[in-house]
Structure 1
Amino acid sequence: MSRQLYFFDQPRRFVVGTVGQPGERVFYLQAADDHRIVSVALEKAQVMVLADRMKQLLDEVASRSGVELPQAVVPDTDPLENPIDEEFRVAAMGLAYDTDSGLIMIEAQAPADSQEAAEDSLLEDVEEGPDALRVRLAHQAAVEFIERARRVVAAGRPPCPLCNEPLDPAGHVCPRSNGYRRQVRLGSGD
């Protein structure tokens, strides 16, 4: 299958954002430069993993090079840019560090025909394979992406203190309590 590779080298903006209300949100990675906007859908868990792995990669680069990581300067709190047209739903992601340029490379890949096709094309310049969004970021942009991703994930429904599953406004049946709600007896003053 011929591959569509959406490549952004240090885009004007690379963010994660959502559309919808907590509990019904759709998460998107969005890259934008002066001429185009590309949005791909992904799961909340994928956003968390990407942010955590990017932080680990930056920490490792900083420890090896002896350079301190930059701090997020001005948080990007703007909504996703329109149009939000989903190019594909992310099935696999890759993360790498280009030592020559000092840039972090992120790739989000559409579902592949096979596991082998996905592995052969992830972070590779090949003609065949699943569609992909590939972005190269400087350290500052990566730090800002991580901070925003963590804020977006945290803005959802609060977790249950027992099972850590999201609490719904309509109620929550907690597997840790087996759906049982203990009745509290008030003392009679004896």
Structure 2
Amino acid sequence: MSRVIHVFRSPDRFIAGTVGQPGDRTFYLQAIHEKRVVSVMLEKQQVQVLADRVGAMLDEVRKRFGAPIPPPADEFTDTDPLVSPVEPEFRVGTMGLGWDAEAGSVVVELLALTEGEVDESVVLGDAEEGPDALRVFLVPERAREFVARAHSIVSAGRPTCPLCGEPLDPEGHLCIRLNGYRRGVHIDPHEAPDSDDDE
């Protein structure tokens, strides 16, 4: 069966988003153009890696080619949620990234998870055989917005333990760095309050 490549050359939106509560969130990327919506499911770490790589690519393109690339941004204007219902086309396995100099766009390609290894020639290619894919072209401004929103989505989860870096649950946290023990309170005897006993 031939593969399906969902191509968005000028999407109205390309965003990261989640469904569920912190600690039980499912991560998605969604490309939208007019009434066409394609959603893919992926891991939190994949969202982080993709955002980092897109940001690094924009910096490299600006440095190497002097392209008019906006600086990194912490803010983003698209704060709307994912378009519901969220029905993923596939779970992401391989991710590809490129720069289309002619279009002046970052090209993001997300390929469906497969059991075997993916041939590199399939990534950002139009081979008839291979995993289904979502391919999105983003102008630099939209790419920076994607990065800012993705970083915000990733960091909006549970806070992390300052000792071990693992997520903290509302019910409590058994920290591996403390080996199951709680830290005791140490009182310096020289700073202890005076005794109430009479002499």
Give the conservation status (yes or no) of the 8 Å contact 2:54–2:97.
yes
Q: Which runs of 5+ in 1 are unaligned?
A: none
Give the conservation status (yes or no) of the 8 Å contact 1:112–1:118.
no
List, as ranges, runs of 4+ consecutive aligned residues in structure 1 with deviation greater than 6 Å: none
Task: Please tell me whether Structure 1 or Structure 2 has the larger radius of gyration of its CA atoms.
Answer: 2
Letter in 2 for 1:125: D
1:68: Cα distance to partner?
5.0
Alpha-carbon distance in 2 for matches of 1:44, 1:110: 16
Give the conservation status (yes or no) of the 8 Å contact 2:76–2:149.
no
Q: Residue by residue, what CA displacement relative to the aligned partner does 1:18-45 show, whole Å, maximum 9, x if unpaired?
A: 0000000000000000131010000110
Q: Residue by residue, what CA displacement relative to the aligned partner does 1:81-103 show, whole Å, maximum 9, x if unpaired?
A: 12210111111101101112211
Alpha-carbon distance in 1 for matches of 2:35, 2:53: 29
Q: Which moved further from structure 2: 63-72 or 81-90?
A: 63-72
Q: Which moved further from structure 2: 18-27 or 83-92?
A: 83-92
1:185: Cα distance to partner?
4.5
Alpha-carbon distance in 2 for matches of 1:69, 1:169: 41
Alpha-carbon distance in 2 for matches of 1:35, 1:78: 16
- Please state whether the residue corresponding to 2:177 is helix, strand or coil: coil
1:67: Cα distance to partner?
4.2
- Please state whether the residue corresponding to 1:148 is helix, strand or coil: helix
Letter in 2 for 1:50: L
Identity between Structure 1 and Structure 2 (%):
54
Q: Residue by residue, what CA displacement relative to the aligned partner does 1:141-190 show, whole Å, maximum 9, x if unpaired?
A: 00000000011111110111011111111111222222221122456526
Per the alignment, residue 59 of structure 1 pairs with: 59
- Please state whether the residue corresponding to 2:165 is helix, strand or coil: coil
Alpha-carbon distance in 1 for matches of 2:164, 2:95: 28
Alpha-carbon distance in 1 for matches of 2:21, 2:76: 25
Per the alignment, residue 134 of structure 2 pairs with: 133
Per the alignment, residue 161 of structure 1 pairs with: 162
TM-score, length-normalised on structure 1?
0.92
Letter in 2 for 1:9: R
Give the conservation status (yes or no) of the 8 Å contact 1:118–1:130.
no
* CA gap 1:74/1:151 in 2 versus in 1, 3 angstroms: closer
Letter in 1 for 2:193: G
Pairs aligned (count): 189
- Please state whether the residue corresponding to 2:170 is helix, strand or coil: coil
Alpha-carbon distance in 2 for matches of 1:66, 1:119: 29
Give the conservation status (yes or no) of the 8 Å contact 2:9–2:138.
yes
Per the alignment, residue 19 of structure 1 pairs with: 19
Where does 1:22-171 land on structure 2 (aligned, <5 Å)?
A: 22-67=22-67, 69-70=69-70, 74-115=76-117, 117-171=118-172
Q: Which runs of 5+ in 2 are unaligned?
A: 195-199
